[in-house]
């Protein structure tokens, strides 16, 4: 394995991320990683969930840092390999993130939107314990499922957007999310859900979207939860009601700079747990990936993962 002092690292690369640009630009990315780590070992993923398997094998074999190169979905897969039942497999193992995907929302939340800067952060030995969200939900076949997320889980219109983008080449980058949102809002109607926040009483709401955020951004750069921090032991919940296509166009700038939280129809909560149910099919996404639908139960795993900083 690669070494930097006593540090042993494996770089896991999703060559299909960024609409295939990661494979084409791998030489440049590899040189930037090499400047931080020196000689290193890497492996390309070959199928969905492959990164999780590779990560688990690596850290069980003694690798101290696994670096994810790709988009938010790739980082999510790698992070899942660090945890077993919500607990770290190897507590001192660290996650490194080199963002090279489409949305890049986790990288924005971490303050590393540029892959060159992210590579530079890989050297040294400093790590930050970060929180992880754990979601239990129904998958697309209606079967019980469980997955973790680092950045955000959301349901409603965003679930429709994530499903529409599944399997499509996102060559337009963040614009792909904006265009898919416009398309979804053309026909989307608010849906009735029952939400319980932090063990409080159930509330019946009619929502356009609900985002449960560990990080600040989702949807390709929308600053949905400007107060969220990935290491503070809390989840920020932003719920929109009565938000249609005209509102998206009118308030687009506010969605991206975070001032939308002051608009009518926007609600903010802070929690460590949340549940949501609905008699309708309400679609769910985790870290930008379409994973299933309600019912949903989320709890926070404080400091469950060590991030290379």
pLDDT for the residue 6: 42
Helix (H, G, I), strand (E, B) or coil at 279: coil
pLDDT classification of 7: cutoffs 50, 70, 90: low
In the chain, where are the structural domains located?
2-125, 132-303
CATH class of 132-303: mainly beta
pLDDT classification of 4: cutoffs 50, 70, 90: very low
- CATH number, domain 2-125, options 3.30.420.40, 1.10.10.60, 3.60.20.10, 3.40.50.10330: 3.40.50.10330
Q: What ranges make up the beta strands (E) of the chain?
A: 2-4, 7-13, 41-44, 65-70, 83-84, 87-88, 94-99, 127-139, 144-149, 152-156, 191-197, 203-207, 209-213, 235-240, 266-271, 273-277, 283-286, 289-308
Tokens of 152: 């955000």
The partner residues of 95 in beta bridges, in order of sequence, read 66, 307
pLDDT classification of 177: cutoffs 50, 70, 90: confident
- Residue linked to tokens 């319980």: 196
pLDDT for the residue 1: 39
- Give the pLDDT confidence of 184-205 residue by residue, as tens digits: 888 899 999 999 999 999 999 9
Report whether pLDDT(2) > 80. Answer: no
Distances (CA, A) of 17 to 101, 175, 268: 5, 16, 32
- Give the pLDDT confidence of 149-166 residue by residue, as tens digits: 999 999 999 999 988 887
Among residues 240, 261, 260, 242, which one has the least CA distance to residue 251?
260
């Amino acid at each position: 394995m690669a070494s930097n002092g006593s540090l042993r690292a494996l770089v896991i690369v999703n060559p299909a991320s960024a609409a295939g640009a990661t494979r084409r630009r791998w030489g440049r990315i590899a040189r930037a990683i090499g400047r931080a780590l020196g000689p290193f070992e890497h492996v390309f993923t070959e199928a969905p969930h492959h990164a999780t398997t590779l990560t688990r094998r690596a850290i069980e074999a003694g690798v101290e840092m696994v670096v994810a190169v790709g988009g938010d979905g790739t980082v999510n897969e790698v992070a899942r390999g660090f945890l077993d039942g919500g607990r770290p497999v190897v507590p001192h193992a660290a996650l490194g993130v080199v963002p090279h995907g489409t949305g890049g929302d986790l990288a924005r939340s971490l303050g590393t939107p540029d892959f060159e800067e992210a590579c530079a952060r890989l050297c040294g030995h400093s790590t930050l314990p970060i929180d992880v969200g754990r979601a239990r939900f129904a998958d697309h076949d209606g079967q019980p499922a469980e997955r973790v997320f680092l950045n955000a889980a959301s349901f409603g219109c965003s679930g429709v957007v994530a499903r529409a983008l599944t399997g499509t080449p996102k060559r337009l980058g963040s614009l792909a999310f904006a265009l898919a949102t416009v398309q979804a809002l053309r026909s989307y109607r608010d849906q009735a859900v029952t939400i319980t926040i932090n063990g409080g009483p159930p509330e019946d709401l009619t929502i356009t979207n609900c985002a449960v955020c560990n990080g600040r951004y989702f949807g390709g750069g929308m600053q949905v939860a400007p107060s969220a921090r990935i290491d503070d032991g809390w989840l920020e919940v932003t719920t929109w009601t009565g938000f249609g296509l005209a509102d998206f166009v009118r308030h687009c700038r506010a969605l991206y700079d975070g001032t939308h939280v002051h608009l009518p129809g926007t609600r903010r909560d802070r929690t460590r747990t949340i549940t949501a149910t609905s008699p309708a099919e309400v679609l769910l996404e985790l870290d930008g990936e379409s994973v299933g639908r309600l019912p949903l139960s989320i709890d926070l795993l404080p400091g469950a993962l060590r991030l290379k900083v």
